[in-house]
Amino acid sequence: MFIKTGKLAILAILFTFTPLTPGQNIHAQTTEDESGIYTAISLMASSMHIDETGKPFIEDDGGGLQLEFGYRFNPTFALGMSLGLANHETTEPGVDALFSSLQLLAYYRFCPDRPFRPYIKGGIGGYGLTVSEGPASANISGGGVVIGAGFRFFFSSHFAIGLDMTHNIINYEKGKLSIDSFSFETEIDEQGSQTSLALSFNYSF
């Protein structure tokens, strides 16, 4: 009787001083720290709309990569900076088109205590579209506004996979033509947009 009572007392003490149940341990292992640095690399599908009146015609759909790093200030708010490059084919052989973006982003993230974490985001960006053939290239560039949403699913407190959709509203302001060492710049006023769907692999420090 004494042995059974002693075992029960030991179990009671262990439960009293154990901060988390097994289920809570699993929950904690898939939750980020409240603040810290994060990084992400994404496979990106790019869809671009440009009004074209001449050749080469740039295909609307393309693909590329996106790199991002940022800082979580608390469980719901984070700031990030991303660099994206997407290749778009053209109708002319040997002519390549490359869309580039540099974005400053603010995130509002929901469900901070859950592995599944949806978010919304907004920010500003700088954009460029370069069409090149051999030593010749033409580039347009400008700024714009970023809006988007997505989610991340955490497999551990550090690693997550996410899906993100971003829409960029762009005002192209400068044009540049380069041939070997010769270049010519001019001001333009053209509207454009680009939408991306990205599969991201995220690491939180």
Beta carbons of 96 and 87 less than 8 angstroms apart? yes
In tens, the pLDDT along 150-171 reads 999 999 999 999 999 999 999 9
- Please write the tens of the pLDDT for every residue from 98-109: 999 999 999 999
Give the C-alpha separation, 70 to 79, whole Å: 6
- Give the number of C-alpha atoms closer than 13 A to the C-alpha of residue 197, restricted to the C-beta side: 4
Angle at 172 between CA 88 and CA 164, to 5 degrees: 55
> Up-side HSE of residue 63: CA atoms within 13 Å toward CB?
5
Q: Which helix (H) or strand (E) holds 11?
A: helix 2-17
Residue ranges, the chain, pLDDT below 50 = 1-6, 8-24, 26
Is 200 in contact with 186 (CB distance < 8 Å)?
no
- Check residue 92 and give its pLDDT: 86
- The pTM is what? 0.81
CA atoms within 13 A on the CB side of 179: 1
Structural domains of the chain sorted by starting position, each given as residue range(s) with its CATH number in brackets:
31-204 (2.40.160.20)
User: Which residues 6+ apart lie within 8 Å of 78 measured at CB?
Assistant: 38, 70, 71, 72, 106, 107, 109
